[in-house]
Structure 1
Amino acid sequence: MYLLLDIGNTREKAALIKSGKVTALPQLAPDNLAKLPIKAVYFASVASQEKVAAIKQQLGLGHLPWRQVYSEAKACGVSNSYQQPQMLGVDRWLAMLGTQLLFPSQNTLIVDAGTAVTIDWLAQDGRHGGGWIIPGLKMQQQAVVKNTARVFNSEMFNGRLEPGADTVTGLQNGCLAAVLGAIRLAWQQTPCNKLVLTGGDSKFLKSYLSDLPIVVEPLLIFHGLARYIDM
């Protein structure tokens, strides 16, 4: 059994892999981990090394091997389109590795709908066709409210694809339309067999994209990260 970690600047996500099966680990607590036969920790991180060291100490797993995974030019049959491969966000890289594993030999559009929305094209032969990065639903709303004197928002997001009759609904519906519009435009750019959706807003967005061959895979990044075990 191995522990898989996706370490961000604000929070950590975790999963376990045992006998080839990846499962989410909702509570990353030292007491829970101490009971598990974990052999090593594989992790991706956009946080500082100081934060990684603090997490290692907090979890009480300093005695285990820790391996950090980075974006590469090529791995597991996937080719990075960046001239400086390490500059591609590691989450995007792992999402492509996960997609190529789960949906081999297909042209796919990969959408990670989180704080930012990343959109990447992956060809059936594993070539990365490049991608887009746009602000996510929450980030768009925060940017408008912060930089506009008379626009305000509510804590609850109730965006719908219809004209808003007040400021809050106008803002929320507009942000939803912007994200969905970018995804649909991306789908039109290059013919694909499947739209693979992951990230915190994926389940919400899915209902607006049901006419496309869509699959929601919340553990997509962890499937990619698991491919580095024993490499």
Structure 2
Amino acid sequence: MNYDLLIDAGNTRIKWALAAPGAALGDWHAQGAHMHADAADLPPALAEAVSRLGCDPMGDTGSAVGAIGRVLIANVAGQAVRDMLAGWLAAPQLGISPQAIEWFASVPLRAGVRNAYRNPAQLGCDRFAAAIGAHALAPGKAIVVANCGTATTIDAITADGTFLGGMILPGLGLMASSLAKNTAQLPQIKPGKLPEGFANNTDDAILTGCLAAQAGAVERAFELHQAVECIISGGAAPYIAPAVPVPHRHVENIVMIGLHAVLRSA
């Protein structure tokens, strides 16, 4: 049995998942997430997951030969992270053929989604993957997908699968940290639950303002697109989603779901 390995290398974290053949979207056999500072923990975690697959007999190097048949990677973290991942995936204990590895890129058409960006290749591959994932989860619907990470991206996909474009704004953490860095007396806050009503202290006032900005951008995109549903994902989604006033659902790992949809469509 050949498993699919999906990797989403973002600006803050590297996430991975193993999917069995025929598995439903988002149904992972194993998964992990590692901050860039702790990226050295990824190879042993992945090697341990591969060793538990129980596929083909172990080779001379102790690798699960043929356990991983395809690898699809979305990397927006730069060349250094790409080189690091390439080195890790070449480890003998993983038993991955170099020909099995694909670096996902934005193209005019893939997995039922047409990329209508002015220059299709300029679209961030994570945004394209998220759009593919959202369309796969909500086929036949005009939808907005908001991926709330280091940056927040909010994109529109038509019912027939056309990626129209969208918005990019600082993520929730960046908004808060920019106030702390560029003002004399405002504190650095941590994301938290949306306060009720008007905030009566500075920390809650900052949090309320940042959450309102994020939720307002999602609402604006939803109304502009005349969408019927919004999919919200990313590390800050648990904080932002409750503030969003339009129909929505929280979906974890929308980029990897999109990568999974790509491989399922191949």
TM-score (norm 1): 0.89
Decide which of 49, 65, 84 is 1:54's aligned counterpart.
Answer: 84
RMSD: 2.2
**Which consecutive residues of structure 1, in runs of 5 or more, have no partner in the other structure?**
none
- Shift in Å, 1:84: 1.1
Aligned counterpart in structure 2 of residue 70 of structure 1, from 96, 105, 109: 105
CA distance in 1, matches of 2:174, 2:255: 21
Separation (CA, whole Å) in 2 of partners of 1:199 and 1:70: 20
- Please name the residue that 1:25 is paired with: 31
Separation in structure 2 between the aligned mates of residue 197 and residue 14 of structure 1, nearest angstrom: 19
Q: Quick check: which one's helix share is greater?
A: 2
8 A Cα contact 2:110 2:262, kept in partner: no
What is the number of residues matched between the two proteins? 230
* Inter-partner Cα distance in structure 2 for 1:197 and 1:97: 14
The offset of 1:158, in angstroms, is 4.5
Q: Report the more deviating stretch, 36-45 or 161-170.
A: 161-170
Per-residue CA distance 1:86-125 (angstroms, 9 max, x = gap) = 1111111011111121211110011111111111111111
Give yes or no for the alignment of 1:139 onto 2:169: no
Name the CA shift for 1:148/1:62 in 2 (closer, same or farther; >3 Å): farther
Aligned-partner Cα distance in 2 for 1:133–1:5: 22
Partner of 1:213: 247
Aligned partner of residue 249 in structure 2, secondary structure: strand
| Identity value in percent | 30
Equivalent residue in structure 2 for 1:175, among 187, 194, 210: 210
For structure 2, which runs of at least 5 residues remain unmatched after alignment? 34-41, 54-66
- 1:46: Cα distance to partner? 1.3
**Native 8 Å contact 1:160 1:176 kept in 2:** no
Within 5 Å, give how 1:38-49 maps onto structure 2.
38-49=68-79
Letter in 2 for 1:111: A
Which string of whole-angstrom CA distances, capped at 9 and with x for unpartnered residues, describes residues 8-40 of structure 1?
243201112212323160264122333332223
1:103 aligns with 138
Cα distance, 1:132–1:161 mapped onto 2, change above 3 Å: farther
Q: TM-score, normalised by structure 2?
A: 0.78
SS in structure 2 of the partner of residue 82 of structure 1: coil
